[in-house]
């Protein structure tokens, strides 16, 4: 099923090989005949556990919860941003100092990240230290304290996050594009607004955790850990089986957001409704994205003569620019389009050239040569992603929570091979003819409005 395709192949990332060295303190047969196997179990407390034993001396464990920004309401908008910054604070079983000290003494790394759909707590540590570390992280997830003075301290970190965001134009535009496209749910930013920072109470945090940090919305996945041992550790988690809340479905609306700034470089993105993760259109859309261009494949090179978007924009201006096909696929929605960065005097030319290139696809479609090359690029991206332990952890958990099972990578590769030129051209026309959304940040004096791109 396309629903189990790796989300990260939407944004191809080159990873590192998973370690295959045996842990020093364990007697393990690491002969070539022993192949890593993924195991999945649902525990009595309702939490789903999955593991991939590769006999590494390092264990990687992620606790993933369906509690991302899309589940926020008007009263708690931005609360997942605060949860991200409070992951290392005190709990009902440990102080912030105790958690930090244990992580340091164990030589571990402990991080918390959030997305539109998930809050992820990840531990990377020596295999023999996992028991010491996971107990404290379990407390951070299941029995957080949310002390008022720690909430105030986290608010300062949130303000710093927002200051950093203001220096990242592409990220700003991506956030605004989601808001223009979906308004609420998937349109909710992973960053709290300035007006909400400092307004979250302990009661509001506890209520959000009670509603969303439940067993039916949680998965724990590990790499470099024995499955039975991970089951034992997760079996000690105490959380409600379900809160009974219903999640609002994402609805694509379309729209336009423009934010003026003093920066003469403009970043703009245009997108239509794209396929969601369970959609059969996902893989054809991924192939389309490869053809249109996701950036240079040779380090420090330009993409002007490689991708269709790059060649189109390069023919419209001789000034420096950056352009890439973008997409975001989620459990029940998605976006697909392009993002470009150029000087204020050139951004209009670049946007119109890219817009025209997409429009030409509805008439001429793609060639067999383009499809074949894109398939190879996509398969390479999938295989490279499968060698990155962080990506594999993320995908395992999200597949369990979205699709209810794990994908077999050989099945994904077979699905890619089975896609025809007709499949890609049909999906491409469907996407391109959809209702558009646009976001732009910078000096927009010469940036065309969305309706002007259609002229």
The answer to whether the beta carbons of residues 326 and 274 sit under 8 Å apart is no
Confidence class for position 18, pLDDT limits 50, 70, 90: very low
292, burial (CB in 10 Å: exposed 0-12, middle 13-18, buried 19+): buried
| CB 80, CB 114: distance < 8 Å | yes
**Rounded-to-integer distance, Cα 239 and Cα 247, Å:** 19
The pLDDT of residue 257: 98
* Three-class SS of 420-453: CHHHHHHHHHHHHCCCCEEEEEECHHHCCCHHHH
Q: What is the pLDDT of residue 372?
A: 97
The SS3 assignment for 103 reads helix
Please give the Cα distance from 301 to 296 (Å, whole number): 6
Residues with Cβ < 8 Å from 337, sequence gap 6 or more? 177, 269, 270, 271, 272, 274, 325, 326, 327, 436, 437
Distance, CA of 289 to chain centre: 17
**Sheet containing 321-329: order of strands:** 256-260, 437-442, 265-273, 334-343, 321-329
What are the residues facing 435 on neighbouring strands?
none
State yes or no: pLDDT of 82 exceeds 90.
Answer: yes
Query: pLDDT tens digit string along 124-169?
Result: 999 999 999 999 999 999 999 999 999 999 999 999 999 999 999 9
Average pLDDT in the 191-214 region? 97
Q: How far is CA 376 from the centre of its chain?
A: 23
Q: List the one residue out of 47, 50, 122, 139 whose CA is nearest residue 84.
A: 122
What residues does each domain of the chain span?
19-234, 256-453
CA distance 97 to 100: 5
- Domain 19-234 listed as CATH 3.40.50.720: no
Chain centroid to CA 295? 18
- Does residue 335 have a pLDDT over 80? yes
> Residues, the chain, total?
455
Task: Check pLDDT > 60 for residue 15.
Answer: no
Structure tokens at 297: 């494949």
pLDDT in tens, 273-310: 999 999 999 999 999 999 999 877 677 666 566 789 99
Q: What is the mean pLDDT of residues 198-224?
A: 97
Q: DSSP characters for 312-375?
A: HHHHH-SS-EEEEEEEEE-SS-EEEEEEEEEETTTHHHHHHHHHHHHHHHHHH---HHHHHHHH
Q: Where is 164: in which H helix or E strand?
A: helix 148-165
- CA-wise closest residue to 317 among 283, 340, 337, 336: 340
Question: Is 323 in contact with 293 (CB distance < 8 Å)?
Answer: yes
Strand partners of residue 109: 124
Per-residue pLDDT for 32 more than 60?
Answer: no
Q: Flag whether pLDDT at 204 surpasses 70.
A: yes
- Minimum mean pLDDT range among 73-87, 103-117, 298-312: 298-312
Q: Rg for the chain (alpha carbons), in Å?
A: 23
* CB burial of residue 183 (10 Å; 0-12, 13-18, 19+): middle
pLDDT higher than threshold 50 for residue 186: yes
Average pLDDT over residues 190-209: 97
Residue 256, classed as helix, strand or coil, is strand
Q: What integer pLDDT is reported at residue 417 of this predicted model?
A: 97
Residue keyed to tokens 């976001």? 439
Give the pair of three-digit tokens for residue 233: 């550790």
Which residues have C-beta within 8 Å of that of residue 454, sequence separation ≥ 6?
355
Q: Of 281, 78, 104, which Cα lies nearest the Cα of 199?
A: 78
Judge whether 453 and 351 are in contact, CB under 8 Å: yes
Residue of 317 and 34 predicted with greater confidence: 317
The domains spanning 19-234 and 256-453 adopt the same CATH topology: yes
The whole-number pLDDT of residue 174 equals: 98
User: Pairing relation of β-strands 119-126 and 38-42?
Assistant: unpaired
422 alpha-carbon distance from chain centroid: 29
Q: Are 347 and 443 in contact (CB under 8 A)?
A: no
pLDDT confidence of residue 21: 29
207-231 mean pLDDT? 97
State the Cα–Cα distance between residues 438 and 348, nearest whole angstrom: 13
Q: What is the pLDDT of residue 98?
A: 94
Q: Which residues pair with 3 in a beta bridge?
A: none
Q: Say yes or no to pLDDT of 3 above 80.
A: no
Query: Does residue 224 surpass a pLDDT of 70?
Result: yes
Is the pLDDT reported for residue 73 higher than 90?
yes
Calpha distance 143→44 (Å, rounded): 19
| Cα separation, 59 vs 122, whole angstroms | 10
| pLDDT at 118 > cutoff 90 | yes
User: What is the mean pLDDT of the segment spanning 42-64?
Assistant: 95
Q: Which fold has domain 256-453?
A: Cytochrome Bc1 Complex; Chain A, domain 1 (3.30.830)
């Amino acid at each position: 099923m396309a629903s189990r395709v790796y989300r990260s192949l939407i944004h191809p990332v080159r990873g590192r090989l998973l370690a295959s060295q045996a842990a020093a303190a364990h007697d393990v047969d690491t002969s070539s005949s022993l192949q890593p196997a993924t195991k999945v179990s649902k525990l009595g407390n309702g939490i789903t556990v999955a593991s991939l034993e590769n006999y590494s001396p390092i264990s990687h464990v992620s606790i993933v919860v369906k509690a991302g920004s899309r589940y926020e309401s008007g009263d708690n908008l931005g609360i997942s941003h605060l949860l991200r910054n409070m992951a290392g604070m005190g709990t009902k079983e440990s102080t912030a100092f105790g958690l930090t000290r244990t992580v340091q003494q164990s030589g571990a790394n402990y991080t918390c990240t959030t997305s539109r759909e998930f809050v992820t707590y990840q531990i990377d540590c020596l295999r023999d230290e996992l028991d010491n570390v996971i107990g404290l992280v379990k407390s951070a997830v299941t029995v957080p304290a949310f002390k008022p003075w720690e909430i105030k301290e986290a608010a300062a970190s949130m303000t710093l996050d927002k200051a950093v965001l203001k220096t990242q134009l592409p990220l700003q535009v991506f956030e605004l594009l989601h808001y223009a496209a979906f308004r609420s749910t998937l349109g909710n930013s992973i960053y709290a607004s300035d007006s909400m920072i400092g307004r979250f109470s302990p009661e509001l945090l506890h209520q959000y955790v009670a509603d969303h940090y439940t067993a039916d919305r949680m998965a724990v996945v590990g790499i470099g850990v024995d499955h039975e041992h991970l089951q034992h550790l997760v079996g000690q988690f105490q959380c409600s089986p379900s809160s009974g809340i219903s999640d609002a479905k994402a609805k694509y609306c379309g729209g336009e957001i423009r934010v003026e700034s003093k920066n003469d470089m403009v970043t703009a993105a245009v997108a239509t409704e794209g396929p969601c993760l369970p959609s059969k259109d996902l893989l054809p859309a991924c192939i389309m994205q490869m053809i249109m261009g996701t950036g240079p494949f040779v380090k420090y090179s330009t993409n002007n003569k490689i991708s269709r978007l790059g060649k189109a924009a390069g023919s419209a201006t001789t000034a420096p620019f950056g352009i890439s096909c973008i997409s975001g696929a989620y459990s029940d929605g998605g976006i697909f389009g392009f993002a470009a960065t150029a000087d204020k005097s050139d951004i209009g030319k670049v946007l119109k050239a890219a817009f025209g290139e997409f429009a030409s696809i509805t008439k001429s479609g793609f060639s067999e040569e383009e499809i074949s090359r894109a398939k190879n690029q996509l398969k390479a991206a999938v295989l490279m992603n499968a060698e990155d332990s962080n990506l594999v952890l993320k995908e395992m958990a999200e597949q369990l929570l979205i699709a209810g099972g794990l994908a077999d990578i050989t099945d994904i590769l077979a699905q890619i091979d089975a896609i025809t030129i007709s499949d890609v051209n049909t999906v491409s026309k469907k996407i391109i003819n959809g209702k558009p959304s646009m976001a732009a940040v910078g000096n927009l004096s010469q940036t065309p409005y969305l309706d002007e791109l259609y002229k």
